[in-house]
Every structure is written in structure tokens, then in C-alpha cells.
Amino acid sequence: MPSNVLGTPLQGCCFKPVTGFYRDGFCRTGPDDIGLHTVCAVMTDEFLAFSSARGNDLSTPMPEFDFPGLKAGDQWCLCVTRWAEALEAGKAPPVVLEATHIHALEFVSLEDLQAHEA
């Protein structure tokens, strides 16, 4: 069982819509996950606009991928580098620590994640 950033078993992030690189509801990662979708974040309007402005529109539904589009309050597994970019810009969304994979700590500090705990 993978661990979260607190060193306990990784909890699910979101099952409706199903999130995660492996689309199993968990922010697990592996060799094929180049983006490192390890941060379980609670979407905000500010972050969704920030992400869209950087070419990753998470709000628009994409039925061909069974993706309804996200809205503020939804939880989603984000690429850790996108979360770090949002942090630097002052637009980082809240984080669910229990559902954020321990590998996120290779790119962001536990202190920064805790400062944005949901």
C-alpha cells in the first residue's frame, strides 16, 4: 500500500469523477506517470482559471474521455509540478494530505503542503 505525505496509508482522493493517473480514485504514481499526479487538491475557481491559462483546462467537460469537467469544491489529483507552480504564483489550491502521495515530497515541502491543508 502506498503512503501519503504523513507516512500513513494513502487515502482515496475522488471517486466521482474518478481521479488519478490510473483512474482509480487515488493519487498513485508509477513509471508511466510522467506528470506525477500525486497531489490531492480541492479545486478553487482561482486555481481552475490559473490552470486553464497555462494550457490545462480542467473545467470544460470532455465526454469522449468520460470527464465531466471540474468545479470549485471538487477534489482532483494534480501534477505536483503544477501545484508547485501555483504555489509560487500564490494560487495553490488546498491539499488533502491523507490522499497526497509521499512522492510529492520530492518536489514540494511538507511544510508548504501543510500550510495549504484542506
Which one has a higher pLDDT value, 16 or 116? 116
Counting residues of the chain whose pLDDT is more than 90, the rounded percentage is 92
| pLDDT at residue 17 in the model | 87
**pLDDT per residue over 41-67, tens digit each?**
999 999 999 999 999 999 999 988 888
Place 26 in a pLDDT band, splitting at 50, 70 and 90: very high
| pLDDT at residue 89 in the model | 98
User: Mind giving me the DSSP string for 46-64?
Assistant: HHHHHHHHTT---SS-BGG
Whole-structure pTM value? 0.95
**pLDDT per residue over 83-114, tens digit each?**
999 999 999 999 999 999 999 999 999 999 99
Instruction: Pick the closest to residue 14 from 46, 58, 54, 53 (CA basis).
Output: 58
Q: CA 16: distance to chain centroid?
A: 14
Spell out a b/e string for 24-52, using b for 16 or more CB atoms within 10 Å of the CB, else e: ebbbbbeeebeebbbbbbbbbeebbebbe
